[in-house]
Amino acid sequence: MGILRSILRNGAANNNWFNGKLAREKLHLKKASTIKPTPLKTFYNLADDIDYSREAAPRLSADGAISDKIELDYFRYLQNLQFDCRHRIRAGTGETGDGGWEMCLDPPYNMKPGKCLVYSFGISTNWSFDDYMDKTRNCTVHCFDPSIGKKDFKRSPNIYFHNLGISGRNETNGKKWQLYTLGSIKRLLGHENVTLDYLKMDVEWSEWPSLQAMYREGVLSQVKQFASEFHGIPKKQADVDIINRLYELGFRIFYTKRNFYNRATSRLTQRTIYRCMEVHFVNINFLKQDV
């Protein structure tokens, strides 16, 4: 039987591997949300030393069965930072509240007022993130949530609401919700060749098929920052694989928030697990691009 292999195999050995990786990339972790942004030239120099090869990706594998090893490594992996964001802020509701999301404003991820584009999937009744991106960053924000029973409308000059959701395929589901892949949504809105400065997903388990579709469509290369709430643990090989794919495509975790109000006891291991984690990524491929 195969086992899950990740960057965090065990205790001290894992820490040594991770610290070594950080040393090679010159991205040492610090709690530094108050530190001034690092100059763009410095980031270009860092990018030259980053290993973009497939071999640098953390390797996760599963044989179809959920095991103690898979469960432990999955949660360890998503909670380990891979990128040192020196200028991190929270967009929306406060640190302990639901609805807010972290942003990295280090160059080249610092959003240009009036020239930034945000997709926000999953609203419910909390618009704090979307309003922040509008009022504070002057970004164009497209919001999506078929579950709240609202027709398309314009919340503000910069905020557009669409009565549709994201999924792994284009379909109308049993609840009569219109669901599309990210690539299809970008085409519908005329953004097929446009970079998303921020992609946010809080879509209650639909992140797994949606991410798989994004990978197939090749649209993640046009995303600078990506944040998603991940639910549960991977139950299929394809779900495990998509975590690998994100790393291979250049996405590095700069912040993870665990939901302390949504914990459970694992049926497999009796371990207390967090059923929801908000994981925030930057796409390091943009470090080499002039913006």
Residue 174 neighbours by CB under 8 Å, 6+ apart:
none
Any idea which of 15-29, 102-116, 265-279 has the lowest mean pLDDT?
Answer: 15-29
* In a domain? residue 117: yes
* In a domain? residue 265: yes
Q: Locate 233 and state its tokens.
A: 């643990």
Q: What is the pLDDT of residues 147-197, one digit of tens each?
A: 999 999 999 999 999 999 999 999 999 999 999 999 999 999 999 999 999
CA–CA distance, 120 with 130 (Å, rounded to integer):
7
User: Could you tell me the pLDDT band of residue 11, with boundaries at 50, 70 and 90?
Assistant: very low
Any idea which of 28-32, 74-78, 105-109, 225-229 has the lowest mean pLDDT?
Answer: 28-32
Crossing angle of helices 68-78/237-248, nearest 10°?
A: 30
- 72 pLDDT more than 60: yes
Give the per-residue pLDDT at 94.
65
Judging by beta carbons within 10 Å of its beta carbon (0-12, 13-18, 19+), is residue 162 exposed, middle or buried?
Answer: buried
pTM: 0.76
* In a domain? residue 23: yes
HSE-CB for 281 with a 13 A CA cutoff: 28
What's the number of domains the chain is made of? 1
Give the per-residue pLDDT at 177.
96
- Catalogue the E-assigned strands of the chain: 88-91, 101-104, 117-121, 140-144, 153-154, 159-162, 165-166, 171-172, 178-180, 196-201, 223-231, 251-258, 263-265, 272-274, 276-283
Residue 13 neighbours by CB under 8 Å, 6+ apart:
none
* In a domain? residue 4: no
* In a domain? residue 1: no
* In a domain? residue 3: no
Amino acid at 69: K
Domain containing 226 equals 11-288
Q: What is the pLDDT of residues 227-271, one digit of tens each?
A: 999 987 766 767 778 888 999 999 999 999 987 666 777 666 667
* In a domain? residue 196: yes
Which among 282, 246, 226 has a CA at the least distance from the CA of 57?
246
* In a domain? residue 65: yes
Judging by beta carbons within 10 Å of its beta carbon (0-12, 13-18, 19+), is residue 110 exposed, middle or buried?
Answer: middle
